[in-house]
Structure 1
Amino acid sequence: MTVTRRQFLVLGAGTGAAAAGLTGCGSRSSLGAADQLSMWTWVGSVNDSLISEAEKTIPGTSKQLSMTRIGGDYKTKVLTALAGKSLVPDIMAINDDVATYFPNADQFHDLNELGADKLKGDFLDWKWKLGITPQGKMMAYPMDTGPTALFYRHDIFAKAGVPTEPADVQAAAPDWDGFIQLGKKVKQAVPGSSITDNITSVFDYAIAQLTKRYMTPDGQYIGDGDHIRQAWDLSVRVVKEGLSANAQSGSTDANAVVTNGKLVAFVGAVWWAQLGPKNAAPKTKGQWRVCATPGGAGNRGGSFLAITKYCKDPAAAFAFISWLESSRNQAEAFKDPVLFPSTPASYTDPRLTEPDPFFGGQRIVDVFAESAKKYPGAYFSPYDTIIRDPLAAELVNVEVGGKSSDQAWKDGQKQVERELTRAGAI
């Protein structure tokens, strides 16, 4: 689905409570008492058992953890705190939009100065680089990732008389064109079948495979380039072929197309296993499989931890985040709340390699581990969101409103130019 994993997990969280220890003996700039390290995160971003252990005493330090799960618009609350430079937590989680915070890099510690550089080899190289600003400051420490795969209904593929085993499906759909052809065969045999929920899902996951996105590290806008237009045209093609369920994000149909079996295949990130079929179609247990993504490995999602310059004890804070994100503990976080590790050593941990009954006993970690290791990486700019959103809105106009693709592309680019000019990016 087009909703992000964080948006799904934060549902029901309610509004964030005030952090414990606001009236403690810490300074006005930093939350919490002197013997505490305060941390902000959102629901579903960390493993509760590990946090419970750290709340008693953070391993390797004399500090205790005071963690607040922020509900609602997490990013707005963080940026507001940073703007006010008061009551800022010692540690904060940051979502995959980490580049959005790069303009505030002066309010964070350079983690390499705290010893992060010695641990670089434990992590996926592309993930490590995402937390480093264009100026070379390591602002954010890797948490989870969002490697992609092709999810599909084994039983419906069998009914349609097309390949059903992961290796065979992968061979039949090595690229997006092959995936479309496969989808057409399934739909012909099983009318009503779709291979995506909506047009923007195809666009987002096609972008998630690219080695370049909307801007260059030196600030040049390239979101009007051929690589983005190709992802756009692919998205429109899937709709024109009648293979989209036209279930827009946030609509009542978003889960229904999974529940009623209309969505028979979907290119999605690892977290979609929980968000999609396990949540919306539990009765389909045993009927799903995964294989490599058509067109190559991609990544969508994944979080970071940062230490603010207001931190009372940066060394203790780094001891905590490096402990929390060790390969052993990332394997624990995969069990609950299903965060896919950024540490390759975790991929052979028995907690990850157990067969998944929901996927017919398949070891799905093998597919996602390969995707995570093969993903080439790309530069994310602070402006990616304000670029992507107008383009996505125009794609919806194509699918829902029947707008011509060329006109929608032109209008989307005009809106992007206005937004980037307003933001001072161009």
Structure 2
Amino acid sequence: MIGRKRTCWTAIIMVCVLFISGCSIWSGQDDSASNKKITLTLWYWNRSIDDELLAKAKEKFPNIELIAQKIGGDFKAKLKTTLAARSGEPDIVALNDWIMELFPSEDRFYNLYDLGASEVEDQYLPWKWKQGVTPNGQMIGFPMDTGPTALFYRADLFKEAGLPSEPEQVASQINNWETYAAAGEQIKEKFEGKVFLTDNIGSVYSQVLSQSPERYFRPDGSFIGMDSPAVRTSWNTAVTFKEKGLLANADGWTPGWNAAMNNGEIASFVGAVWMKQVLQEAAPDTSGAWRVTRAPGGDGNNGGSFLSILKSSKHPEEAFELIRWLQSPENQLEQYKTINLFPSAPGVFDSPAMQEHEPFFGGQATGPVFAESARHVPEAFFGERYPSVNSIITRRLNDIAKQNADPQQVWPDTVHRVERELQR
């Protein structure tokens, strides 16, 4: 009897040992699984993120196998096609300033507020932050770079025409679109019509509109109307520039624009900070002649990007930590130094890197000019149909500028076309 009891206790002890050992083995398997490398795919376009920074990210996050895919061609079209197919979606995707077109598809993206975005919100420009938030309050885009605007001008041509040529003087005396137009008439007279004030009618319209807190739609999605002060002022200003003969009719991203800039046929233009590189590549013979100052009429923004996490991602927390690190103020400053992406984190605006003097701009430090502009960009709601409405308006303005269409006839026709588009 005693022997049987001993045998039973021995069996029980052995079971317990095996159970404890099993727990230990199972726990070890859990630890191994938690340390397993996860894979995250990232879609971006050339120069939207610094490739060197992506290489550093792979070292910073050893638990992540980052597959960064540089998408060429029509990035937006490929993304929309992929979303429609619901297959082959990346974990993280860069979005340009057309982010508002994806607001109706907000359910396809993680709400970054749920992942901790509010913890760093105060580090970024408020107007930029809000551009990534849908009308329903869901944050689908984390701030990347911005496109604050300023007046680019030829100091030599301004001076020869009897205009102020130092940045502070130009900003003080040419501080609205009326005085800017008057300066253009002075340039036109001095150079006998061989030098134009600015490049094209669409640029004038877009830059005036960018200085207003109002666009075409209200946050509830309702159409403000074509007779809104912002639209009418922008339209009338653009038409006035055409009627005064101040436009070179040189469209951006064309050989004609490049040649006009390099040959001194265009004395100035209002453009975003990223136009610095475009101008330097287009007009190398004009190095040293250009300056930058605050834009007439106020500050605006043109361009800038965001990072989003698709709902199809199985690792949203890790994806957000990666995004947060890539677009930290420190790394935004680094990307300003390497690929000229202007930060959306104002905490780095006073850093030495943004105070550097630039030979192409006559030794001027242009960083502070764009920093001041970025701080004062008005908050504005765009709406997902902003691109389609804006495209109609700029096409009709081109008819006025290049085909001499009568503005009095083009305006009501434009209103009709916009209304018809919104009924679709």
Q: What is the CA deviation profile of residues 208-229 of structure 1, one whole-angstrom value per residue up to 9, with x for unaligned ones?
A: 1110101111111124023201
One-letter code aligned to 1:322 = R
Match 1:264 to one of 260, 264, 267: 267
The two structures have a TM-score, normalised by structure 1, of: 0.88
Contact 1:61/1:316 (CA < 8 Å) preserved in 2?
no
Q: What is the CA deviation profile of residues 143-166 of structure 1, one whole-angstrom value per residue up to 9, with x for unaligned ones?
A: 000000001011111222211100
Q: Which residue of 2 aligns with 1:178?
A: 179
Q: What is the CA deviation profile of residues 61-93 of structure 1, one whole-angstrom value per residue up to 9, with x for unaligned ones?
A: 610211111111111111111111111000000
Q: Which runs of 5+ in 2 are unaligned?
A: 1-35
Q: What is the CA deviation profile of residues 261-311 of structure 1, one whole-angstrom value per residue up to 9, with x for unaligned ones?
A: 1111111111111112x0111121111111111011111110000011111
CA distance in 1, matches of 2:338, 2:86: 33
CA distance in 2, matches of 1:248, 1:154: 22
Larger Rg, first or second structure (1 or 2): 2
- Measured on the aligned residues, the alpha-carbon RMSD in Å equals 1.4
Which structure 2 residues correspond to residues 277-288 of structure 1 after superposition, within 5 A?
Answer: 278-288=280-290
CA distance in 2, matches of 1:118, 1:406: 52
CA distance in 2, matches of 1:51, 1:350: 24
CA distance in 1, matches of 2:270, 2:238: 12
One-letter code aligned to 1:220 = S
Q: Which residue of 1 aligns with 2:213?
A: 211
Q: What is the CA deviation profile of residues 4-50 of structure 1, one whole-angstrom value per residue up to 9, with x for unaligned ones?
A: xxxxxxxxxxxxxxxxxxxxxxxxxxxxx972210111111011210
One-letter code aligned to 2:116 = G
Aligned-pair distance for 1:312?
A: 2.4
Contact 2:188/2:197 (CA < 8 Å) preserved in 1?
no
Q: Which residue of 2 aligns with 1:221?
A: 223
Aligned-pair distance for 1:102?
A: 0.6
Contact 1:126/1:376 (CA < 8 Å) preserved in 2?
yes
Aligned-pair distance for 1:335?
A: 2.1
Which structure 2 residues correspond to residues 45-64 of structure 1 after superposition, within 5 A?
Answer: 45-54=48-57, 56-57=58-59, 59-60=60-61, 62-64=63-65
CA distance in 2, matches of 1:90, 1:267: 37
Q: Which residue of 2 aligns with 1:157?
A: 158
Contact 1:159/1:190 (CA < 8 Å) preserved in 2?
no
CA distance in 1, matches of 2:312, 2:139: 17
CA distance in 2, matches of 1:86, 1:163: 58
Contact 2:44/2:94 (CA < 8 Å) preserved in 1?
yes
CA distance in 1, matches of 2:247, 2:225: 24
Q: Which residue of 2 aligns with 1:326?
A: 328
Contact 2:44/2:93 (CA < 8 Å) preserved in 1?
yes
Contact 1:398/1:404 (CA < 8 Å) preserved in 2?
yes
Q: Which residue of 2 aligns with 1:399?
A: 401
CA distance in 1, matches of 2:254, 2:224: 31
CA distance in 1, matches of 2:173, 2:225: 31
One-letter code aligned to 1:246 = N
Q: Is residue 2:307 matched to residue 1:305?
A: yes
CA distance in 2, matches of 1:173, 1:274: 25
Q: Which residue of 1 aligns with 2:148?
A: 147
Paired positions, count: 387
Which structure 2 residues correspond to residues 244-259 of structure 1 after superposition, within 5 A?
Answer: 244-249=247-252, 251-259=254-262
More helix per residue: 2
SS of residue matched to 1:87:
coil
One-letter code aligned to 1:115 = G
Contact 2:37/2:65 (CA < 8 Å) preserved in 1?
no
Distance 1:223 1:337, change over 3 A: farther
Q: What is the CA deviation profile of residues 101-152 of structure 1, one whole-angstrom value per residue up to 9, with x for unaligned ones?
A: 1111001101011110000000000000010000000111000000000010
Q: Which runs of 5+ in 1 are unaligned?
A: 1-32
Aligned-pair distance for 1:251?
A: 4.5
CA distance in 2, matches of 1:366, 1:173: 19
SS of residue matched to 1:97:
helix
Contact 1:34/1:312 (CA < 8 Å) preserved in 2?
no
Q: Which residue of 1 aligns with 2:297?
A: 295
Contact 2:167/2:293 (CA < 8 Å) preserved in 1?
yes
Distance 1:44 1:151, change over 3 A: same
Q: Which residue of 2 aligns with 1:116?
A: 117
Q: Which residue of 1 aligns with 2:414?
A: 412
Contact 1:148/1:299 (CA < 8 Å) preserved in 2?
yes
Q: Which residue of 1 aligns with 2:46?
A: 43
> Bigger shift: 384-393 or 214-223?
214-223
Which structure 2 residues correspond to residues 238-249 of structure 1 after superposition, within 5 A?
Answer: 238-249=241-252
> Bigger shift: 82-91 or 217-226?
217-226
